[in-house]
A and B are shown apart, each in its own frame.
Chain A
Amino acid sequence: QKEVEQDPGPLSVPEGAIVSLNCTYSNSAFQYFMWYRQYSRKGPELLMYTYSSGNKEDGRFTAQVDKSSKYISLFIRDSQPSDSATYLCATPGVGGYQKVTFGIGTKLQVIP
């Protein structure tokens, strides 16, 4: 079983919509979860990370962890065409403070 699993999409939404991107993870002992954004033909950039459970908000972006269901989510409010990118979830796993496992990424298109 993969450490994180993610639907590759693509996901297409109209501008201004609320976007929900999701991943599941395999081990309830995982503590850190990250979301990266990758524009076409560019390297990924870290959007935000969460530790343990709960929500973390940064502007229009909210990351949420539900440990009971082993589910992590990224919400984008008031989505913009500039949000069109691939979003990757990731985790360093258990004691994996040297390396990270990434989901396959969900491709998002925000249509003006």
Chain B
Amino acid sequence: SQTIHQWPATLVQPVGSPLSLECTVEGTSNPNLYWYRQAAGRGLQLLFYSVGIGQISSEVPQNLSASRPQDRQFILSSKKLLLSDSGFYLCAWSVQGVSYEQYFGPGTRLTVT
């Protein structure tokens, strides 16, 4: 069966500090991978998605970036965090071409202070 991991579970970072969140998927190959942010009262916002190694599509221009160095690894980064980056970050995967069935990880709660 497939499993998706995210870490860390919670993170408190000062403004201006860097960020690295990691997501890995087990039990499947060549998945689509997604990063979402969920801020209070704002719903799920798609940040990035990837259809393969090194292939990243950005949905929201901001100070975040994503990378996919391996087939089942997806990393979300920032060089300098802003207060507005606080939120619940979720990684998800789906089978290629079947985006309507997405499976989410447990999430990382980020607080920027």
Contacts and interface: CB of A to CB of B under 8 A. Distances in A.
Contacts of A99: 34, 46, 49, 57, 59, 99
B49 A102 contact: no
Interface string A51-63: 0000000000000
B43 A97 contact: no
A99 B100 CA distance: 8
Contacts of B102: 46, 100
Interface in A25-81: 32, 34, 41-46, 49
A82 B34 CA distance: 28
Contact of B99 (A44, A88, A92, A105): A92
A42 B107 CA distance: 7
Nearest to A105: B43
Interface residues on B, range: 20 to 34
Given A41-B109, A42-B106, A43-B106, A98 B99 contact: yes
Contact of B51 (A8, A90, A98, A101): A98
A46 B99 contact: no
Contacts of A103: 43
Nearest to A4: B43
B90 A43 contact: yes
Contact of B49 (A45, A49, A98): A98
Contacts of B97: 97-98
Given A8-B41, A92-B99, A99-B99, A43 B49 contact: no
Contacts of B83: none
29 contacts: A32-B100, A34-B100, A41-B107, A42-B107, A43-B107, A44-B44, A44-B90, A45-B104, A46-B101, A46-B102, A49-B101, A88-B43, A90-B100, A92-B100, A97-B97, A98-B32, A98-B57, A98-B97, A98-B99, A99-B46, A99-B49, A99-B57, A100-B99, A100-B100, A100-B102, A101-B46, A102-B44, A103-B43, A105-B44
Interface of B: 32, 34, 41-44, 46, 49, 51, 57, 59, 88, 90, 92, 97-107, 109
